[in-house]
Amino acid sequence: MTLSVPQPGQLIVITGPSGVGKGTLLRQLRQRHPALAVSISATTRPPRPTETNGVDYYFVSVPDFQAMLQAGELLEWAEFAGHYYGTPREPLVRLIEQGKTVILEIELQGARQVRQSYPQARHIFILPPSMAELERRLYSRGQDTAAAIAQRLAQAETEIAAASEFDVQIVNDDLEKSLTALETAIFSSTS
Ligand code: 5GP
């Protein structure tokens, strides 16, 4: 007999300072494992030139974000570098019910909320090789102003200090090695 109800999927939380290379790691990971689902967050941050609404984020106004929050539509949310970010609950719950492994790429405050509301989630922290290298990466991607970069670096110090709260820590020194470590962290938790 075929089971019609799939086993619930896994929730994977990936956190790490802005500029650490989470985006690149996630893109490569999805290419290798197309069955992985990545949650699309809502944000009040304006889109960067390379970003598409509904693909990279749902870009929303502050009143729209507040309405989602009031209606209980967000699994978690945070203010980061002057903008709001949050995870829409409904699509995530649907994917988990379908048995998917779902990845949330979120900052520290949100990761802590998920730990409270969904303790089964596996939490992975991506570290830079050094603060100097993180600063170099933030400048070289050329996406943020000097003021925004300074804000992100200050935030990075706070986030890195909390890395030990996470189940797994990966130093993103070498892309290939980090990807292998990420695969191990994700797939050793999904049987
Ligand atoms: P960025 O503006 O560089 O795209 O993202 C800034 C920070 O917000 C990153 O650390 C990213 O992981 C985090 N972030 C993105 N989406 C969410 C979300 O839905 N919730 C929370 N808490 N953080 C998010």
What is the share, in percent, of the chain residues with pLDDT greater than 90? 84
6 found inside a domain: no
Residue 4: the pLDDT is 57
Residue 1: the pLDDT is 52
d(CA 54, CA 118): 25
Going from the Cα of 116 to the center of ligand 1, the distance in angstroms, rounded, reads: 18
Nearest C-alpha to atom 24 of ligand 1 is from which residue? 106
62 found inside a domain: yes
Q: What pairs with residue 70 in β-bridges?
A: none
Residue 190: the pLDDT is 46
d(CA 92, CA 13): 12
139 found inside a domain: yes
Give me the number of domains the chain comprises: 1
Residue 188: the pLDDT is 85
131 found inside a domain: yes
Going from the Cα of 4 to the center of ligand 1, the distance in angstroms, rounded, reads: 35
Residue 191: the pLDDT is 43
Residue 141: the pLDDT is 83
**Structure-block tokens of residue 46:** 């304006």
What integer is the mean pLDDT of 54-63?
Answer: 97
CATH number at residue 107: 3.40.50.300
Q: What is the per-residue pLDDT across 63-113, written as a single tens digit (0 to 9) for each?
A: 999 999 999 999 999 999 899 999 999 999 999 999 999 999 999 999 999
**Nearest one of 130, 178, 125, 113 to 15, comparing CA atoms:** 125
Going from the Cα of 2 to the center of ligand 1, the distance in angstroms, rounded, reads: 40
Residues with CB under 6 A from ligand 1: 18, 41, 45, 76, 78, 80, 85-87, 105-107, 109-110
Nearest C-alpha to atom 21 of ligand 1 is from which residue? 106
Residue 103: the pLDDT is 97
1 found inside a domain: no
Nearest C-alpha to atom 2 of ligand 1 is from which residue? 45
- 15-19, 54-58, 80-84, 140-144: lowest mean pLDDT where? 140-144
d(CA 185, CA 191): 12
Going from the Cα of 5 to the center of ligand 1, the distance in angstroms, rounded, reads: 32
How does the average pLDDT of the chain come out, rounded? 93
**Nearest one of 107, 104, 160, 111 to 131, comparing CA atoms:** 160
d(CA 138, CA 77): 23
121 found inside a domain: yes
Residue 6: the pLDDT is 61
3 found inside a domain: no
Q: What is the per-residue pLDDT across 134-172, written as a single tens digit (0 to 9) for each?
A: 999 999 988 788 998 999 899 999 999 999 999 999 999
pLDDT of 3 strictly over 60: no
5 found inside a domain: no
pLDDT of 7 strictly over 60: yes
- 32-36, 46-50, 139-143, 153-157: lowest mean pLDDT where? 139-143
What integer is the mean pLDDT of 124-142?
Answer: 93
- Structural domain harbouring 30: 11-187
